């Protein structure tokens, strides 16, 4: 919003109508170009790239995700039989 208000405010500076305002006109042109390009990137390019990346997740089949643990159909909250309970001492084989 601030960029949209600054663009018309810097237009007289970029026009360089006053005497000796050549360097100020160049600065105004750069400021207007930077504001326009950053606004365009923020409002148009970033949402488009985001939607393409979100839509493309199915194409890559979940690359970067950790594989899910294989379950035997039992209770997923049940403790692993190889792990000792909090009250038991670990068994020593040997």
Tens digit of each residue's pLDDT (9 = 90 or more) over 12-65? 888 887 777 777 888 888 888 999 999 999 999 999 999 988 887 766 665 666
What are the φ and ψ backbone dihedral angles of 45, each rounded to 5 degrees? -70, -45
Predicted local distance difference test score (pLDDT) of residue 25: 85
What are the φ and ψ backbone dihedral angles of 92, each rounded to 5 degrees? -110, 125
CA distance 81 to 56: 40
Domain boundaries, the chain: 2-57
Contact partners, residue 94, CB within 8 Å, separation at least 6: none
Burial grade of 24 (CB within 10 A; 0-12, 13-18, 19 or more): middle
Stronger pLDDT, 30 or 76, i.e. the higher one: 30
């Amino acid at each position: 919003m601030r960029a949209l208000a600054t663009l018309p405010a810097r237009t007289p500076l970029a026009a360089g109508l006053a005497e000796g305002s050549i360097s100020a006109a160049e600065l105004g042109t750069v400021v207007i170009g930077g504001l326009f390009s950053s606004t365009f990137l923020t409002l148009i390019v970033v949402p488009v790239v985001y939607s393409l990346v979100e839509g493309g997740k199915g194409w890559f089949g979940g690359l970067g995700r950790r594989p899910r643990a294989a379950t035997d159909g039992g209770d997923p909250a049940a403790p692993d039989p190889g792990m000792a309970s909090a009250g038991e001492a670990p068994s020593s084989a040997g």
